[in-house]
Amino acid sequence: MTLAAAAVLTATVAFAQNLDAGKPPAKLFADGCATCHRSPRGLAKGRFSLTLTWFLKDHYATSSDSAKALASYLESMDTPPRAAAKPGARSSRSAPRPPRPVQGQ
Ligand code: HEC
Inter-axis angle of helices 25-32 and 64-77, nearest 10:
100
> 99 in a domain, yes or no?
no
Owning domain of residue 43:
23-78
Number of domains in the chain: 1
Within-domain flag for 101: no
**Closest of 13, 14, 17 to residue 66, by C-alpha:** 17
Distance in Å, CA 99 to ligand 1 centroid: 34
Ligand 1 atom having least distance to the Cα of 52: 29
Residue with more model confidence, 90 or 34: 34
Q: Which atom of ligand 1 is nearest to the CA of 66?
A: 38
Q: Which residues line ligand 1 (CB under 6 A)?
A: 29, 32-33, 35-37, 43, 45, 55-56, 60-61, 70, 74
Model confidence over 47-70: pLDDT tens digits? 888 899 989 998 886 688 889 889
Ligand 1 centroid to residue 24 C-alpha, Å:
18
pTM for this model (two decimals)? 0.65
